Structure 1
Amino acid sequence: MLEILRQPWPWYVSGAVIALVMILLLFFGKSFGFSSNFRTICAACGAGKHVPLFDFNWKTQIWNLLFLVGAVLGGAISSTVIASDQAVQISQATIQDLQALGFAPPQGLQPDELFGLETIFHLKNIWIMLGGGFLIGFGTRYAGGCTSGHAISGLSDLQWPSLVAVIGFFVGGLIMTHLLFPLIF
């Protein structure tokens, strides 16, 4: 069983599971998105007393908090119990692009020059993480949701703002990959 879980799953299996989850969420009148958990956690901690955004009945979102906990536990289990010592499989063109920027091919899930424990405390990396976290938080709030909420839940619900947001995510990703990433590194 562990060998099956360690293998990459085909897109049509993952897509079918995501579609099934979305059908169930739509049936029960729920919308999916991880960024809404931040609002729920803040409301549960009493932030609604000071900020109107957090003043709502957070108990209606317990199902989403359980999903968040399950995602974290699933990540912990996959990184320990079913972890593979095989490096992530990426295209040769990506390896060449990374090498041109000074990164070695990943030996695990990501390049150690970016995410290794010995580099995480360099001042440049701390600023990159803080800046990226701020931009993600601001962008999530400004766009009214995160990439998973808009791309999976919003598009399956045929919401026009989600289509605009997803196009913006892709354009932003292309700008980051081809213009900003080479400048930063």
Structure 2
Amino acid sequence: MHDFVIAFLGGALLGLSVVGYLYVNGRIAGISGLIGQVLNPHTVFKTPALWFLMGLIISPFIYGIWVQPEIELEASPFMMIVAGILVGFGTRLGSGCTSGHGICGLSRLSKRSIVATLSFMVTGFITVYLIRHVTGAF
């Protein structure tokens, strides 16, 4: 029950943050867009994206004061680098990241985001099935 409550509260806070960012700033809180704003030297100190991203980075450390989750990585560093590169490529190809489409886009009922999120999910399901059940790698 405890894990359910934590997950529910985390999802609620994420939803409130996204809606609040859109309402206050008139911009979508997709991570790739926020990072793009921060990496632009003309807008880095003029955008609230910097504060939003700093909150995302700092929050786990604050949470870690009370809860120490056990994190276990089964992938090699090489595979994590490859995965990161593929995610970056997919973000550019899909005109946004999973958070932008899956959280922000779906909440606005964006048709493009619905298609993108379904594509992410189906591809993830197929990949996990192939890796775990067909190749037996994990």
Identify the residue that residue 94 of structure 2 maps to in structure 1.
143
RMSD between aligned residues: 2.6
User: How much has 1:110 moved relative to structure 2?
Assistant: 2.6
Are residues 1:33 and 2:17 paired? Answer: no
What are the within-5 Å matches in structure 2 for residues 81-160 of structure 1? 81-84=65-68, 108-111=70-73, 114=74, 125-160=76-111
Uncovered stretches (5+) of structure 1, i.e. residues with no partner: 1-6, 45-56, 88-107, 116-124
Q: Which runs of 4+ in 1 moved over 6 A?
A: none
Q: Structure 1, residues 143-163: CA drift from partner, whole Å, max 9, x if none?
A: 111111111111111211100
Are residues 1:67 and 2:67 paired? Answer: no
Aligned-partner Cα distance in 1 for 2:130–2:103: 27
Identify the residue that residue 62 of structure 2 maps to in structure 1.
77
State the SS of the aligned residue for 1:158.
coil
- Aligned mate of 1:180, from 116, 120, 131: 131
Say how many residue pairs are matched: 133
User: How much has 1:66 moved relative to structure 2?
Assistant: 0.9
Larger-gyration structure (1/2): 1
State the SS of the aligned residue for 2:67.
coil
What are the within-5 Å matches in structure 2 for residues 16-27 of structure 1? 16-27=12-23
What is the TM-score normalised by the length of structure 2? Answer: 0.78
Aligned-residue sequence identity (percent) comes to 30
Q: Structure 1, residues 36-78: CA drift from partner, whole Å, max 9, x if none?
A: 233223322xxxxxxxxxxxx5258621221111111111222
- Aligned mate of 2:115, from 151, 161, 164: 164
Aligned-partner Cα distance in 1 for 2:8–2:63: 21
CA contact under 8 A between 2:32 and 2:96: conserved in structure 1? Answer: yes
User: How much has 1:10 moved relative to structure 2?
Assistant: 5.6
Aligned-partner Cα distance in 1 for 2:87–2:46: 22
Letter of the 2:103 counterpart: I
